[in-house]
């Protein structure tokens, strides 16, 4: 199911952008995402990050940061808080974390968030 076995028990922090944000924020968010990954921004939890993916779709775009262990609440929420801060998102904006096991059984829009920041 997953190309890398480290992802099987993991999940993803998911940022969903409206189509209108493509021209204003998508490139900046993606660049910052890549800088977070190569700069080991997540401190002691940097090794828990497996990668990132961007999906460009007609209705809207998505950026996801994949982690290896969805049950590691401390690590997952630390990564989410740092990521949200690095993207410069306001406290009013909520981003969600979805376990891969949940997304495998439901379509993305129906998957319940395991954690939010």
Nearest to 46 by CA among 59, 37, 34: 37
What integer pLDDT is reported at residue 103 of this predicted model? 85
Q: How many domains does the chain have?
A: 1
Q: Is the pLDDT of residue 61 over 80?
A: yes
Grade residue 107 by pLDDT with cuts at 50, 70 and 90.
low
pTM here is 0.91
- Residue 1's pLDDT is 38
For residue 21, CA distances in Å to 31, 37, 52, 96, 99 come to: 15, 22, 19, 18, 26
CATH number reported for the structural domain that contains residue 43 in this entry: 3.30.760.10
Mean pLDDT of the chain: 92
Quote the domain boundaries for residue 103: 5-116
């Amino acid at each position: 199911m997953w190309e890398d076995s480290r992802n099987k028990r993991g999940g993803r922090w998911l940022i969903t952008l409206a189509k209108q944000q493509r021209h204003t924020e998508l490139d900046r968010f993606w660049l910052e995402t890549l800088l977070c990954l190569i700069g080991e921004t997540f401190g002691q939890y940097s090794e828990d990050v497996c990668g990132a993916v961007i999906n460009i779709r007609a209705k809207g775009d998505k950026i996801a940061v994949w982690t290896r262990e969805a049950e590691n609440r401390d690590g997952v929420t630390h990564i989410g808080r740092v990521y949200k801060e690095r993207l410069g998102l306001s406290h009013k904006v909520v981003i969600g974390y979805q376990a891969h096991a949940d997304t495998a059984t439901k379509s993305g829009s129906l998957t319940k968030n395991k954690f939010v920041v």
